[in-house]
Amino acid sequence: MTDLYAVVGNPIAHSKSPDIHNAFAEQTGEDLFYKTLLAPLDDFEGEVARFLEHGGSGLNVTVPFKENAFRLADSLTARAQRAQAVNTLKKMPDGTLQADNTDGAGLVRDLTVNHSVNLTGKRILLLGAGGAVRGVLQPLLEQDPAGIVIANRTVSKAETLAKDFADLGRISASGFAEVEGSFDLIINGTSASLAGELPPIPVSVVHQNTTTYDMMYGNQKTVFNLWAEEQGAQKTIDGLGMLVEQAAEAFYVWRGVRPQTARVMQSLRNERR
């Protein structure tokens, strides 16, 4: 029988996840179908319960339910526990619901495998201190960077994150304007790009070998990556690869099979033209 998966969110109609996962299924020969699931804002739990009762095997979770999923799960992987947010739910053989977070693994894989950016020993600046940044901190620290500075508009939130992850590596907090020195990798995890805005960081953070990564993506280069290019950054990357890689990691969690991502990424890029 064909196994059923879905991405649950609100809104959800424009999600690319069904295209990505159904392409993975075709490529790997896994017998599954993946669809979108619109949950009412006040009944995420009921929607998930009904999906599972009707034979659903697993879910991806997106805005605004990542924290609901964290609370709903019967068990959590270590990386979901750290992230305090969940983007992947898996129905276990005993009927319980296991929660995972594949966002950070997706980011690290896009950087290291697809873009050959080595993170070990590197200085990393992370902009933002919301759920998106919390979700990627553990996998980034596991790459053993020289250090991570978290800069945020609300400095207290950056300080909380730095404290929560201090046991995993060298990590400190800052305001945007107070960031000191330059960085090998700058990751924009704020939602400022959505408003067409730039986090007001000093231009001196960019040096000639700096790579920038915007977790957002769109039809054009993001304002953040355009800014970085103007400052002389060597390489700018958008978040499309992270989207596809977090999906591949979720597919692996569910099926034990790792799909290839290059062709799926290429077709998403072509679609945007």
Please tell me which residue in 66, 90, 91, 122 is annotated as part of the active site.
66
The answer to the question of whether 95 is labelled as a binding residue is no
Catalytic residue list contains 163: no
- Supply the minimum distance, in Å, between the C-beta of residue 156 and ligand ATR: 9
Using the minimum distance from each CB to ligand ATR, give the nearer residue, 37 or 137: 137
The answer to the question of whether 157 is labelled as a binding residue is yes
Indicate the helix (H) or strand (E) that contains 123. strand 123-127
The answer to the question of whether 68 is labelled as a binding residue is no
The answer to the question of whether 130 is labelled as a binding residue is yes
* Helix intervals (H) in 118-222: 131-141, 155-164
- Supply the minimum distance, in Å, between the C-beta of residue 244 and ligand ATR: 18
The answer to the question of whether 2 is labelled as a binding residue is no
What is the Cα–Cα distance from 200 to 185, expressed in whole angstroms?
17
Identify any residues that bridge with 38 across adjacent strands, giving them in sequence order: 9
Q: What is the CA radius of gyration of the chain?
A: 19
Q: Whats the size of the chain, residue-wise?
A: 273
What is the Cα–Cα distance from 76 to 104, expressed in whole angstroms?
15
- Supply the minimum distance, in Å, between the C-beta of residue 194 and ligand ATR: 7
What is the Cα–Cα distance from 240 to 222, expressed in whole angstroms?
12
- Supply the minimum distance, in Å, between the C-beta of residue 151 and ligand ATR: 9
Using the minimum distance from each CB to ligand ATR, give the nearer residue, 71 or 263: 71
Say if residues 246 and 102 touch (Cβ distance below 8 Å): yes
Using the minimum distance from each CB to ligand ATR, give the nearer residue, 23 or 237: 237
Indicate the helix (H) or strand (E) that contains 35. strand 32-38
Q: Is 104 exposed, middle or buried (0-12, 13-18, 19+ CB in 10 A)?
A: buried
The answer to the question of whether 191 is labelled as a binding residue is no
Q: Which residues bind ligand ATR (CB under 6 A)?
A: 128-132, 152-154, 157, 190-192, 195, 197, 199
For ligand ATR, the nearest residue by Cβ is: 130
What is the Cα–Cα distance from 136 to 243, expressed in whole angstroms?
13
- Supply the minimum distance, in Å, between the C-beta of residue 84 and ligand ATR: 11
Q: Which residues are annotated as a binding site?
A: 15-17, 62, 87, 103, 128-132, 152-157, 215, 217, 239, 246
Q: Which residues are annotated as a binding site for NADP(+)?
A: 128-132, 152-157, 215, 239
Query: Which residues are known to be catalytic?
Result: 66
Q: Which residues are annotated as a binding site for shikimate?
A: 15-17, 62, 87, 103, 217, 246
